[in-house]
Amino acid sequence: MASKKTPKTPSPRRASKQQALFENAGVVVEQPIVDTLEKNFMPYAMSIILSRAIPEIDGFKPAHRKLLYTMYKMGLLGSTRTKSANVVGQTMKLNPHGDAAIYETMVRLSRGYGVLLHPYVDSKGNFGKAYSRDMAYAASRYTEVKLDPISAELFRDIDKDTVDFVDNYDNTMKEPSLLPVTFPSILTNFNVGIAAGMASSICSFNLSELCEATIALMKNPNASIEEILKAPDFPGGGYLLYHRGEVDKVYRTGRGSFRIRCRYTYDKSSNCIEITEIPPTTTVEAIMDKIVDLVKGGKVREISDMRDETDLSGLKLTIDLKRGTDPDKLMQRLCRITPLEENFSCNFNVLIGGVPRVLGVYELLSEWIAFRQEAVRRRVYFDLNKQREKLHLLKGLEKILLDIDKAVRIVRQTEQEEDVVPNLMMGFGIDQVQAEYVAEIRLRHLNREYILKRTAEISDLEKQVQELEQILGDAKKIRDIIAKELRDVSKKYGKPRCTMILYADEQQQEEPEEEVPDYPVQLFFTREGYFKKITPQSLRMSGEQRLKEGDRVTQQVEASNAVELLFFTSLGQVYKTSAAEFDDTKASAMGEYIPAKLGMEDGEQAVYMAVTRKYDGFMVFGFENGKAAKVEMSAYATKTRRKKLMAAFSTKSPLVGMAYLEQDQDLVFSSSGRVMVVNTQLLSVKSTRDTLGVQVMNLKKNAKLEHMELLTPERFENPQKYRPKSIPSMGSFVGVEDEQLKL
């Protein structure tokens, strides 16, 4: 029989604790919210602001700096690559946030990812692409990396006490608090970070322009750098829509935005648009998703197909167009309603001395210049101390040159080793450092030739020490050193702009157009000024047209709902509208009264309707004095959506007829029983709307031109009979066979 296990009796101390916990269960303890924020939230917020999200004056966040410094210490500044996993593992000695976070940081710094204008990591393998949401990077065990050549400028003279070093997180290693960058890397590359209660968004600038602007600012702190540093430059290219006011705002305050537009080409042979550069804030997938939604919703009808043809040569998004589509007009519209054109918001929030500050480009460059001056001063001071130490040793060596045998004798006659240095000090009047140096000279070097060669360096060292002392005492010389280094960096690593600048006079201004459905319609216009828009289906199902008593249809046009309508009036004016502004109706309806609909003046009547889509072709006007005017239709097109144009045609002579023609046709002119057929090719095109044109028909005294109309096939049996050899002409009398036809 198994014995029962006796339960353990808790100790009195533990039992009292448990009892206290049970007694306090459910008790609400009041705590001031200020104390909670100070104890819990504020340390966390300060940690991510200072140690994660906000870059410092050298242009790097701590994660970037730790990774690059690890690669530098691994000797990856040469031509040898290593597996990314190796770098990630080594970086964990400085960065305790895990391999995934470290590798993602490396990806964003790499050349393969393409988010930086000047990448710091030269990569091999699949690192994804910044312009693609779905193109993931390969695992770290498959990719290889090394430092890009420009990274040498990040670590130049780092071993010469140019920056401070601090302990890593477990106090086993030293790491730099900043990198002694030789160019303003804070503005060279794209940098975005989000902290608690604040964020940072810094755009990139062209390296050559940035170096030149920094040099100009060092020469004159009040210099205007807008003409040198024209605008940001993004690695993805595209077009930057330049507005001087917005540029000045960002340069002065560090806040503002820039508008970036895609770059595309039109392939006429295949009737497609190829987009090769997009804004840095979007992806190919986001653009395609938006365009697909617009096509499905019927808001964009000009696109027949779209595909992503991105390959090893770079980004390419191809859009196939339907026949007759204007590619430039479509792209202007797509840029307005899709991510093909987006804003890049700037917030130049940088840690300066451990304090987050929002600085404009001017202040940021000034802070970098001050930082770089201190780094150069520390480097010069380090070199000066080294040269002084070397000079001090050589001067001690110079003193034994007078009696080398004496030095040898002192060493040989000294019984104990520890007495060698003191005896040399007393024998030649040198200090301990010099004596230690002399005592360490090899036996083979105790000859006059060796010592003479070494002591010959003394004069050169004295000159170098003097020059270094002068540099330390002259701020201008330090600035000259910085300027020389900037010119070297610009010459070695500078490259042309990726993002082109579109100035205001180069930007095509287009009024936003409302998206309207496009479908076939029949347009009717009557003599009394009534208008109807009827769909073909409704027209087939309808009976006779309902009109006002005594009214009749003068124009019937097959068109679409998206066409433009121009109504010419009895007062020589034209009112512009579109078919989409009118509701679909039926034949049984009276229709819209145009003078009332368009707000015409008292007594003004609509006499003619022109239907157009692209304002091509021309208008022909016939006047009582026998003249006719041929006016380009483009003369009525306006950049702004004006509803009314005055002086639409000449009112110096009464109008007898008008016609809108897309191409040249035959017109019939008649007066006092005479007629003539004239092709509009004989009329010269005018760009002035209110011109009287040219004389077409010579009139007898007190006669006037009575009609002008289009020639129809059934008008005359033989139209050539009435065609004059030239204009102006008197015309011909109507033949017997045509007398029954009304003029």
The single-letter DSSP state of residue 268 is: T
The single-letter DSSP state of residue 380 is: H
Whether the CB-CB separation of 365 and 212 falls below 8 Å is answered with no
3-class secondary-structure state, position 315: coil
Whether cis (ω within 30° of 0) applies to the bond prior to 728 is yes
The rounded distance, in Å, linking the Cα atoms of 684 and 474 is: 78
Query: Which one of the listed residues 120, 131, 142, 503 is annotated catalytic?
Result: 142
3-class secondary-structure state, position 65: helix
Tokens of residue 23, six digits: 């007694």
Neighbours of 181 (CB within 10 A): 24
Give residues with Cβ within 8 angstroms of 238, minimum separation 6.
Answer: 260, 261, 262, 263, 277, 278, 279, 280, 499, 500
The rounded distance, in Å, linking the Cα atoms of 484 and 551 is: 87
Give residues with Cβ within 8 angstroms of 591, minimum separation 6.
Answer: 524, 526, 530, 531, 532, 585
CA-CA distances (angstroms) from residue 546 to 550, 553, 575? Answer: 11, 10, 25
Sign of CA dihedral 577, 580, 584, 587: positive
CA-CA distances (angstroms) from residue 15 to 5, 27, 671? Answer: 21, 20, 124
Tokens of residue 345, six digits: 């918001």
The rounded distance, in Å, linking the Cα atoms of 555 and 524 is: 6
Tokens of residue 287, six digits: 């653009």
3-class secondary-structure state, position 274: strand
The rounded distance, in Å, linking the Cα atoms of 495 and 660 is: 55
Residues in the chain: 743
The rounded distance, in Å, linking the Cα atoms of 145 and 123 is: 5
575 has catalytic annotation: no
DSSP strands (E only) in 490-617: 500-502, 520-526, 530-534, 553-560, 564-569, 574-578, 592-593, 606-612
The rounded distance, in Å, linking the Cα atoms of 69 and 76 is: 10
The rounded distance, in Å, linking the Cα atoms of 644 and 577 is: 9
Phi, psi of 350 (to 5 degrees): -135, 145
Tokens of residue 86, six digits: 């190796």
The rounded distance, in Å, linking the Cα atoms of 718 and 720 is: 6
- CA 50 from chain centre, in angstroms, equals 29
The rounded distance, in Å, linking the Cα atoms of 644 and 600 is: 9
3-class secondary-structure state, position 62: helix
The rounded distance, in Å, linking the Cα atoms of 320 and 330 is: 12
- CA 333 from chain centre, in angstroms, equals 18
R_g over Cα of the chain: 43
3-state helix, strand, coil in the chain (%, to 5): 35, 20, 40
Phi-psi region of 275 (alpha: psi -120 to 50; beta: other; left: phi over 0): beta
Residues noted as catalytic: 142
